[in-house]
Amino acid sequence: MAKKKAEKRDVSAIFEPIMIGNVEIKNRIAMAPMNMNYTAPNRYVSRQQMAYYAARAKGGTGLIITEGIWASERSGDTYRKYNNLSLANELYVPLMSELVQHVHAFGAKFFAQLAISPGRQGSSELTGVKPVSASAIPYMSYPEHQINNLDPREMARAMGYQGPIPDTDDIDELMDFARSIPGTHMGGETPREITVGEIQELVHDLGTAAKLAKRSGFDGIEIHAPHGYLIHSFFALRSNKRTDEYGGSFENRIRILLECIHSCRKTVGPDYAVGVRISASDNLPEGFDPAFAARVAKRCEEEGADFIHLSDGSYEKMNDFLPNKEGQVMPKSAIVKKGLKIPLICPSVHEVENVLDVLETGKADMVSQGRQQIADPDWVNKVQEGREKEIIKCTRCNIGCITRFAIALPCRCILNPIVGDEQFMDEYMKRPTLPIKKRPWQIVKEIGKEPSTPVE
């Protein structure tokens, strides 16, 4: 008897357009923010960045979100090792606008992720600038919460350390060891408690960067507030012992984030897409859970956010920050989504069946992929064309991407040989010419028009 032909899987839910604010995204797949160490000197856009993002846009991804872009020059030096992009002033706008036009030419919408400070996860090692945080409490890096192939002992060797390696799993000994090895960034130094005045300066700078992102042509912005960095450090009681208006109660601990939303709205207006990325949990003593994250997301919605993008964990909980397993955030996303009207993006979903589950059961409205988009920039096109078996599946080994990034090398992928070489490939560097009507002219068009209603 002839075998019954297998029915073709219905993947139409992945390809339904969605609105984020006034921006229409052509499908439900976003590329998550990832710093690949491709930035040119002095935080400028490089040719490799242009080609790398273009490859993912050409691969069919509906929304691409940049790596973290520094919105302020006041604290970026504590993260200099990783050379993030910047929009701290107008000098960065010309090249940034070229990056935006390049990505748009390949068919994706493009959001800028804006960050104000690494917080206590910064380092004074390269510049002598002391990191700041909600309170003067260092972060701890727990071996039991590490990601695949990232261990303090292994990192020390990768950094060129030739001395003895401690044969122990004792947390205190390992942290003392990690802190003694320059460049590992595996153990946190004690930060300085940020002042109220400094908070207000950073919040103001974020608004300025949002204005410059809009001027550069980005379709929207995402405020960076997850992963244990500065804004996150205010959420968790383990890192926030303040007694002023930024500590104690729920509203006080999220005050800085809400002020960031307001600062951006004042400079970009009510009709520009503004969203927030937060960790879904901080499951450590005096941390927070998805129910807390759901409250934060709802308050962001109430204060004018157009979308919420989840991540998880922090440097203290790296195996949540960069999940070792498929679908780890899906159950947490379902909790955050309840009662939320604006779109929610669930991260780190690589398998088609799980993407469909997220969308069809209402756990989120979109999914974002990070390492999977490194491994295969054509994931979306292959799914749409029925070529799922051809997808290069990320194994979450972290060898070519995270480990190289951690030791300040440009990221690569052990499964995808083109990663890092996109700039040498004509298909990603020779961009199509966009019709005039599809180019971002909002700044020019607004000249001579009545100003929009001010945002209070």
Secondary structure E strands in 98-137:
109-115, 132-133
Active site residue 229: yes
The encoded tokens of residue 408 equal 């300040």
> Nearest CA to 368 among 97, 56, 70?
56
Closest CA to 350 of 321, 320, 330: 330
Phi, psi of 204 (to 5 degrees): -60, -45
User: The tokens 């070529």 sit on which residue?
Assistant: 387
CB of 288 closer than 8 Å to CB of 236: yes
- Decide if 201 contacts 178 (C-beta within 8 A): no
One-character DSSP codes across 363-427: S-SEEEESHHHHH-TTHHHHHHTT-GGG--------IIIIIHHHTT-----SS-TTTT-GGG-HH
Single out the catalytic residue among 38, 79, 92, 229: 229
How many Å apart are CA 336 and CA 346, to the nearest integer? 10
Separation between Cα atoms, residue 256 and residue 199, nearest integer Å = 8
Within 8 A by CB and 6+ apart from 448, the residues are: none
For residue 310, give the DSSP letter.
Answer: E
| Rg, Å, the chain Cα set | 21
CA atoms lying within 13 Å on the CB side of residue 453: 3
- ∠ CA 329-78-401, nearest 5°, is 45
Say how far apart CA 251 and CA 390 lie, in whole Å: 48
- List residues with catalytic annotation: 229
